[in-house]
Amino acid sequence: MFLATVVALLFACIAFSSARAADYMALLDTYWDVHDQVLFPTNSGRHYIDLFWTYSPELWQIAVADPALIDESTAIILQFEPPLRALVDGEGSTVVITDSMVRRVESFLGALEERGSPALRITIQTERARNPLDRLIGLTFEEARLLLVGPPVPSLSEPLPTRFP
Query: Which pLDDT tens digit goes with each residue over 130-152?
Result: 999 999 999 999 999 999 999 87
- The predicted-structure confidence for 103-132, as pLDDT tens digits, reads as follows 999 999 999 999 999 999 999 999 999 999
The sign one gets for the Cα dihedral 43, 44, 49, 53 is positive
What is the model's pLDDT at position 164?
44
Q: Where are the domains of the chain?
A: 2-16+24-148
Question: What pLDDT, on a 0 to 100 scale, did the predictor assign at position 91?
Answer: 97
Angle between the 2-15 and 25-33 helix axes, to the nearest 10 degrees?
150
Cβ-Cβ contacts under 8 Å for 124 (sequence gap 6 or more): 3, 109, 112, 113, 116
Instruction: Check pLDDT > 80 for residue 13.
Output: no
What are the distances in angstroms from CA 62 to CA 57, 87, 106, 126? Answer: 9, 30, 17, 20
Q: Average pLDDT of 35-64? A: 89
What percentage of the chain carries pLDDT values higher than 70? 79
- Please answer whether residues 75 and 108 qualify as being in contact, where contact means their C-beta atoms are separated by less than 8 angstroms: no
Helices 43-65 + 2-15 axis angle, to 10: 40
Average pLDDT of span 158-163: 54
